[in-house]
Amino acid sequence: MEATVAKTGTEGKTWGGGNRPLNASYGKLMMWFFIVSDALTFSGFIAAYGFSRFKFIDAWPIADEVFTHVPFLHGVPAPMYYVAFMTLVLIFSSVTMVLAVDAGHRMQKKKVIWYMFFTIIGGAVFVGSQAWEWATFIKGDYGAVETKGGKILQFLDTDGERASVTDFAIAIPTERGTHEEKNGIWYVQEPETQTTVSYQEVLKGFEANPNLLIRSQELVPNMEKLREKAENNPKVAAEITRLEREYINLDKPGEKAIYSREVGLAKLKADGKLVVQGANLKHNEYGHPLFANFFFFITGFHGFHVFSGVVINIIIFFNVIIGTYEKRKSYEMVEKVGLYWHFVDLVWVFVFTFFYLV
């Protein structure tokens, strides 16, 4: 363990260095310093996510409606299975890492090489899965209409199942001419990604199909408790009147409220602005755009950690192969990298809980 430390000639004296009050080497302690500060960074992000979620608790997307896809199983709703798989991959790569550390303690070079190799593969599988998850989230599935106030209106059929805007929208033939340079000074590019159907087409389809309903972003309150409160509070009584006028599923507290057909149609007509398909940093068909922002930022930051972890693991992997630590007579470097790798796993455990479960 002292192979990388230069001798100063003052060993053994009180201030001569070499004391280890915490019984851990300098490098390992520094790794712990880094991990604590990085943990605080991540908890800052996750706490900010919680803040925004509590602020817009109604409009927050339902996680197991968002992540329902598994590769190669197109159209089969399977909430959470894929992300559970990703979690297991990461935990498993953590296990091979700690096995590599253990083999390092016993100076078994061959074993360290193999365990490091499996760890790297696990990390790569995880990053790939995350890329796929992002792509699916960006693509979206049912589509929705965004109102002028930034609310999301989602469509349901008579069974309460989600209806896709591309299925019921009625095409309105329009010509999309290109705005060319010769036609104006302000030659601008297309502002945003085009959706496959327009708001007008969705509205027309909704009017033509009487079986469709609209789901709002409001959560159904506990009506019994509200009625108790309403007895001596006219404001609450007015709120109850509004809820009963607008929504048809007030018997299901905690669920997203569904507009009656008439109210829904009126809302769509008066407030609708544009069609949203999938999610990006500005629009999100599943609910509040902040959900997408935090999802991209936090899983992206975590994915970047996994990526750098894989790169560092590859460097150490080759160091093991060429026998660097055999010469040093200590595999402590593997242990330090292992600490980082486990930390990445640890963060994912929390990301998994707060993005997919809670």
Partner 1 sequence: MGHEHKLEIFRGLWKFKSNVTKIWGVFFFLCFVTAIEVYLGIVKPEFLIQERFLAMKYLNWIFIILTLVKAYYITWDFMHMRDELMGLRRSVVWTAVFLICYLILILLIEGDYIYEVYKSNYVKFNF
Could you list the residues that contact partner 1 (CB under 8 A)?
A: 21-25, 29, 32, 35-36, 39-40, 43-44, 47-48, 50-57, 64, 79-81, 84, 87-88, 91-92, 94-95, 97-99, 101-102, 105, 147-149, 151, 218, 254, 271, 335, 338-339, 342-343, 345-346, 349-350, 352-353, 356-358
Buried b (16+ CB within 10 A) or exposed e, 124-141: bbbbebbeebbebbeebb
Q: Tell me the closest approach of the beta carbon of residue 342 to partner 1, in angstroms.
A: 5
For 135, the 3-state DSSP assignment is helix
Which residue, 136 or 330, is less far from partner 1 as judged by CB? 330
CB contact at 8 A, 129 and 122: no
Nearer to partner 1, 36 or 171 (CB): 36
Q: Which is nearer to partner 1, 58 or 207 (CB)?
A: 58
Report the nearest approach of partner 1 to the CB of residue 64 (Å): 7
DSSP state of 181: G
Nearer to partner 1, 54 or 72 (CB): 54
Which residues does residue 219 pair with via DSSP β-bridges, in sequence order? 256
Output the smallest distance, CB 186 to partner 1, in A: 30
Q: What are the CA-CA distances from residue 142 to residues 65, 254, 263, 269 (Å)?
A: 11, 22, 21, 20
CA distance 320 to 311: 14
Q: Which residue lies nearer to partner 1 by CB, 37 or 196?
A: 37
Closest CA to 295 of 133, 129, 85, 127: 133
Least Å distance between CB 346 and partner 1?
5
CB of residue 13 to partner 1, shortest distance in Å: 22
